[in-house]
Structure 1
């Protein structure tokens, strides 16, 4: 086996160093790109919130000079009204009989000038349309997770990154002009496609360009913090922009700022090498060396390395597909565990994030606190990740979250403040797990199927995200029921996470034969190494 083949990519590019102008440029630009992803996924908290409302009253709208629509006589609840006998007068008034809101509803404008709920009367019998529209966003995320990995592995990380950035930017502009709820839902789905595709592709692109130490800082600190800052900007945007249409327009504007990044961000050299495009990969590395001010070797890849890489390219074109994620025991085990863990973690993370508007107190403040918790958690995870094994850290985070959420069912119903505190504290655990799984599984899945593998895992995560709005909706009947579900799911994910192998201080695997066995797996590590050697010598 040649000492300079694709497996030793980090050694070949060691002359660049871990940190330099080139690495910082990649980390900053790609991390900033996730700001848009941060608020795109949670903007529904304000766009689809349900303001206080009551039935519109027909007939004379005043009684003793008082607006009837502000009267407590309107109806027993927000979905019915008392039948009125004649016009409102001193003697004529409502009876004890009720009827549906035949003339529509009046919505409070105290918090919002308009949301999609007040725009299209999505309350009472139509209330199901609110969680349904949110689920359609995650259906789009599911589709994006599934197709972006294949497109990125086939056509390259860079074109898919910028194409999905464009989709994520243009779609909300069109969505802001929606003339119906159906049009809004279709565009919500497209917005989901762009959001997750852009997020995953930027992570993979940065991870494959950067070396081990810089990759860890980028994945856990830069990439996750960008997402967290985007989430934190959302309540600030929403506080000053109270109408849903203008809020969507404002959310699209930052995307246009990334147009110049096309000339700053290169294609992944690892992907180029796997495709046999050695000259382009070498050009990327030489450009990096120039930006870092370090000399590059006269020949970066020797002729024999080129022959091996060309063979790798041919093998990939003929064999690498989604089936390779389950073809060998090691890859199959990793894929199955990734599906379970990502689905569970995403359901709980988005469930707690989207539920902030249902907590007591100011919705803007709750959302900001939730975002601030995420940011602090990402920093803490970055500090811990190199000192604790990956499986242990993931297990601890998810278990902590599960315990905090399950404790809620022991609280008396009137202790709403304590419920809110425990929910936000529990979010610390799942937020840490959510950012860690991207790093963890990037290190577990080989380069040749990495984007496809992350795409499948993210697709599973979106199934959890699609379900979570309905779990939240269960809170209409019991405040603690969603937390019990989320807590149980978190504990389950924590349990299976201990089966994963530790990837701390390890190189990124490039070939499927380099996939690590899970703990207690019937396929021992020696078998995987033998497969790897056989593949290289073939």
Structure 2
């Protein structure tokens, strides 16, 4: 029997059907790109100092009541303390002048008991100014990003199994609704805790939608178009959304308006339910041959080509003869069944973890790159475009293993070199950091396509979701990794560079998938990659079940 790509070769690779699926799914990822990093602006910390209530003190005391601190070699007004207001009021009433009659260093200080005054030169409001997430509560600001990525972590696992069981299309649209609705509801958050609960659900929906769209497109499309979609198409849609974020944030300076602008565009994609089809590959693995044929016939009509009278002849005969036993259900534990699968999964998880940690650490660090956060965010987003183009070219012409090792070393080495740059040329540090993000972003795009090629259809979405889940542990710790710069400015870069080097070494042991068709079953995956160890448990190695024989030809 022919495999799926050969059976549907009469459709061509770039007809009207493939074009519609390609561009619609790419466009559906634009809200993902703007939504993920909206936390950069809605949770940014504006300049602030202790609020001074209306008190009867002289102008001289009013200017010095906020202490001056030396931070990173610069003198700045304290953000969390002031001189005791009752003492200053008495000294002012007695006519004493600060610095002449009173030594300020001897005055007692107190916290911001009356609240804070926030600068509005960049933002009208953020959740930091809304819920006072500063000083002793500043850990909540860092933890806010982690809450989002915790939702992403859970969604990475749940969405893969749901999609493998119920289909790519239903999960894709369900998570699109979840992401859109809960992002909108966040506007009405009455407290930081409520905001975080809703943000967790938004993160869950965002990654579930992204992974589902990726797998759906990579299974419908074939040949070079599939490589283009997997490596550059879906990622460029994400990058376009990322680049529009600073533009939206520039015009919507308060966090509620920005969330509204980011969330509402998701509603535009709901009517696409009647445009985007289910994956025929997935339908065939479920024994739903007639539905798969219906989709392929519709594609043939759109492409203006003649479909055979019976498209999946061998599969139809197999189903009609009722020789197909009950369908075997797979879960994330299928990825750990044998030594080969465990080794493959662990190496991929390490690489994904490293890339995710680096990607989100460097992306969330944009506010520190330049005095203008909108410009720095746009630069960080724009660097992803050449990164995705590079990954696409690498997927077309370079073996997967070589590409993965090269991008990991590019990202790691450039981040190591940042500590060697003199402070007099900060632009070079920014350039090296962007080169590091270029390499890590390219690697992220490569790994989605590489992982999809290594695992078979029956567990492809589960495997992709599981790798995403492990990688999101890295994204969860990325905000706290940046906080290590308080101990050493270059410590985060050293850690990220070391992780990249270790992952590059581990990638040497990955199997190659360049130029090989998608496997459909676990057995076919092992046979096609010439892996050293058997991929099935001992009882299943000698003879494939009739169901696996059926699936191996999809």
Alpha-carbon displacement from aligned partner over 1:26-50 (angstroms, at most 9, x marks no partner): 0000001111111211111101000
Name the residue aligned to 2:229.
218
Q: For 2:515 and 2:352, locate their aligned partners in 1 and report how far apart those are by CA, in whole Å.
A: 23
Partner of 1:385: 395
Q: Is the 8 A contact 2:289 2:315 kept in 1?
A: no
CA distance in 1, matches of 2:168, 2:320: 19
1:13 to 8, 11, 22: 8
Tell me the distance in 2 between the aligned counterparts of 1:468 and 1:439: 24
The residue aligned with 2:383 is 373
TM-fit CA distance, 1:483: 1.2
Of 490, 495, 514, 1:485 maps to 495
Could you tell me which runs of 5 or more consecutive residues in structure 2 were left unpaired when the two chains were aligned. 69-77
Q: Does 1:187 pair with 2:198?
A: yes
- In structure 2, C-alpha distance between the alignment counterparts of 1:517 and 1:498, rounded to whole Å: 20
SS in 2 for 1:273: helix
**What corresponds to 1:82 in structure 2?**
83
Q: Secondary structure at the match of 1:79?
A: coil
Q: Provide Cα deviations, 1:360-414, integer angstroms capped at 9, x if missing partner.
A: 3311111101111001111122123211111111110011110111112223455
Match of 2:430 among 396, 404, 420: 420
- State the partner residue of 2:372: 362
SS at structure 1 position matched to 2:396: coil
Match status 1:139 vs 2:150? yes
- Higher mean C-alpha deviation, range 109-118 or range 77-86: 77-86
Q: Aligned-pair distance for 1:12?
A: 0.5
Contact 2:150 2:200 in 1 (8 A): yes
CA apart distance, 1:524: 7.1
- Give 1:256's match in structure 2, choosing from 243, 247, 267: 267
Partner of 1:278: 289
Is the aligned partner of 1:98 residue 2:114?
no
Q: Distance in 2 between matches of 1:487 and 1:345?
A: 11
Deviation per CA, 1:141-179: give whole Å up to 9, x if none: 011001001111111110100000001111111001111
TM-score (norm 1): 0.93
CA distance 1:151–1:309, shift in 2 (3 Å): farther
Deviation per CA, 1:214-239: give whole Å up to 9, x if none: 11111112101001111101100101
Distance in 2, Cα, partners of 1:166 & 1:503: 35
User: RMSD of aligned C-alpha atoms?
Assistant: 2.5
**1:116 corresponds to:** 127
How big is the shift at 1:259? Answer: 1.5
Kindly indicate whether the alpha-carbon contact (under 8 Å) linking 2:172 and 2:212 is maintained by their aligned counterparts in 1.
Answer: yes
**Are 1:349 and 2:344 an aligned pair?**
no
CA distance, structure 2, for counterparts of residue 312 and residue 272 of structure 1: 17
Query: Quick check: 2:338–2:537 contact (8 Å CA) kept in 1?
Result: no
1:501·1:516 contact (CA, 8 Å) conserved in 2?
A: no
Structure 2 counterparts to residues 24-423 of structure 1, below 5 A = 24-60=19-55, 63-64=58-59, 68=62, 71-76=63-68, 77-84=78-85, 85-87=87-89, 88=92, 91=96, 95=104, 96-303=107-314, 305-307=316-318, 314=325, 316-317=327-328, 319-413=329-423, 415-423=425-433
Cα deviations by residue, 1:271-306 (Å, 9 ceiling, x for unpaired):
110111111000000000001111100011225654
Partner of 2:74: none
- How far apart, in 2, do the equivalents of 1:390 and 1:361 lie? 39
Task: Count the aligned residue pairs.
Answer: 528
Distance 1:510 1:304, change over 3 A: closer
Distance change >3 Å, CA 67–CA 219, structure 1 → 2: farther
Per the alignment, in what secondary structure is the counterpart of residue 265 of structure 1? coil
- Specify the alignment match of 2:523 in structure 1: 513
Quote how far apart the aligned CAs of 1:308 are: 6.4
Q: Is the 8 A contact 2:49 2:66 kept in 1?
A: yes
Partner Cα separation in structure 1 for residue 471 and residue 477 of structure 2? 10
Structure 1 SS opposite 2:28: helix
> Does residue 433 in structure 1 map to residue 443 in structure 2?
yes
Provide the C-alpha distance between the structure 2 equivalents of 1:134 and 1:209, rounded to a whole number of angstroms.
Answer: 34
* d(CA) in 1 for partners of 2:320, 2:232: 33
CA shift digits 1:405-463 (9 cap, x unpaired): 11122234555333222111211100100111111101111100111111110100110
Distance 1:309-1:326 versus aligned 2 partners, 3 A rule = farther
Larger radius of gyration: 2
Q: CA deviation at 1:500?
A: 1.3
Match of 1:457 among 446, 467, 474: 467
Which position in structure 2 is the counterpart of 1:494? 504
